[in-house]
Structure 1
């Protein structure tokens, strides 16, 4: 049951075992699901279960905790049953595993049970279980690894959401996708749920109007709405969006970060006449980020952009404890960006 996996797609370049995408998991005697992103990990584990169940509906599924482990349980759950049904054992908490589990799991790697798949979930929150992970990655046990790194950057969230619709073979307009990502910038679980709701409920293409109908309140209060309206020079709208975001419980730190991120991208793109794809590749950006930054630069000059970037750096320091009034720091930043002039001028 060895999968035809892609190699070299994981940051774990020293691993001797196949590296699989969490969107396309396949079973093996040992499946290591590593990394902190729980949404992706849950998808991967469910995908392994669905793959095995499609092969044999009599699949027996059981769950263990590596941190609350009774000696002998792993071997008991993986041993052949009377009727020979395939078995899937899902083990969570490997980053907190007990000594008993660690010892038995290492022994199990030397002789995995036939027709059994053991999924080991390690979040990477600690180095506990490193000896086991190293053994799996060396090839002992015939395992595969599904890495689930943290999704933090806007471009990563954009790729995540785009993948949701691509996997479902559904079309979503670029503006709608960006609005959706901005609305759920702080919670990947909610973003995933929002994507799945649109996929399930909307029969046609997903447009900006559809996203606004479902999540208009979230979109209006998002950090990137504040950034977009300020950078576009719509001063009144940007202040309203800022106050709405703060009233909705938005943290000042990511609000400043959203503005600063867009300004930095604009500065990197400014003045270049390279074709968009070539510039994106050279700067490590997505094509859409370059296109968006070029549109955002309309009406800006070098002096105004420099002033705005300095204002963003000052606001970042102030909202992280350098000022007693982070709201004023935000309002001053929005004013500088939207008016494209020093504060008070």
Structure 2
């Protein structure tokens, strides 16, 4: 009869267990999970003893020494980092330990999954009765909205759907930044958080403003593009990353323009998410191959201009916006 597999849970579902595997490449969620576990154990017993081990620097016997019951029998939390570089000594000691965990001790092992180092140990943990596996993989864009909503709920703040979408649009490239931005706006404002609250509060964020300008340009909305651009300039946005945002988006359009096959197949071949590819294909409807080449050439000229080829970087960006938005609208 096959052994039951260890339950796989998300970071916010973590709970005390004799052995916990925190697995995946999203270090922010992994840190959150381990912090939450420590907090739950402290609630059970404030005398919790916490010890840290680096699996990549491990020497024989250290795990057994830390897990051994003390004179006063305090509960213990042993946090093991760097499981992806675990020494042979750690793997062997951990295999022996999980076969007979010590009562009152919680062993949490962090492994990012970037290599198969320690696979024998991972497989053993996943077969251990009573163990838990916390999955901490990078969130897709579709997961960011629920994440942001949950962050606001934890902070006991109410936000409109537009505000949540604006936060995700601004900080979706980095979940740690997204969480920090949510916390900051929640602490520094009162009342319901609206889209305008977010737009006003983070108006100086270059990446957000830049991509808002790019979106307006691709939509052919010259007026909105220019208004957004001037707001960005007024709040101190740097022209160089503004042009870089155009370059990044139009390079993506160029890649997608030659992609064959359905959305899923094409996205995999280009290393993109399906939603990114679908959006790019939608945006390409306003371009021919010739107009896309012209746009890329205009961006190259603007890039040189904002890096010193022309006296006024701000004028160069505005000229680019007018050129691209007018071409799209035509």
Bin the TM-score by the shorter chain.
0.7 to 0.9
More contact order relative to length (CA 8 Å, sep ≥ 6) = 2
Equivalent residue number for residue 177 of structure 1 = 164
The within-5 A match list for 1:1-345 is 16-137=5-126, 139-140=127-128, 142-151=130-139, 153-218=140-205, 221-238=208-225, 241=229, 247=239, 249=241, 251-252=244-245, 255-256=248-249, 306-308=285-287, 327=303, 338-339=325-326, 341=328
Q: Deviations along 1:229-257, whole A, 9 cap, x unmatched? A: 23553225426639967626364488417
**CA distance in 2: counterparts of 1:315 and 1:118, whole angstroms:** 59
Aligned partners of 1:109 and 1:141 also within 8 Å: no
Equivalent residue number for residue 311 of structure 2 = none
Equivalent residue of 1:127, what SS?
coil
Q: CA deviation at 1:20?
A: 1.6
Equivalent residue of 1:88, what SS?
strand
Answer with 1 or 2: which has the greater Rg: 2
**CA distance in 1: counterparts of 2:182 and 2:39, whole angstroms:** 21
* Count of aligned pairs between the two proteins: 288
Equivalent residue of 2:203, what SS?
helix
Q: Structure 2 vs 1, CA of residues 86 and 326 (structure 1 numbering), >3 Å: closer, same or farther?
A: farther
Q: TM-score, normalised by structure 2?
A: 0.72
Stretches of structure 1 that go unaligned for 5 or more consecutive residues are 1-13, 265-283, 286-292, 294-301
Q: CA deviation at 1:161?
A: 1.6
**CA distance in 2: counterparts of 1:257 and 1:59, whole angstroms:** 54
Q: Structure 2 vs 1, CA of residues 257 and 190 (structure 1 numbering), >3 Å: closer, same or farther?
A: farther
Q: CA deviation at 1:156?
A: 3.0
Q: CA deviation at 1:41?
A: 0.7
Aligned partners of 2:214 and 2:246 also within 8 Å: no
Stretches of structure 2 that go unaligned for 5 or more consecutive residues are 258-273, 305-316
Aligned partners of 2:210 and 2:245 also within 8 Å: no
Aligned partners of 2:84 and 2:115 also within 8 Å: yes
Q: CA deviation at 1:60?
A: 0.7
Q: Structure 2 vs 1, CA of residues 161 and 125 (structure 1 numbering), >3 Å: closer, same or farther?
A: same
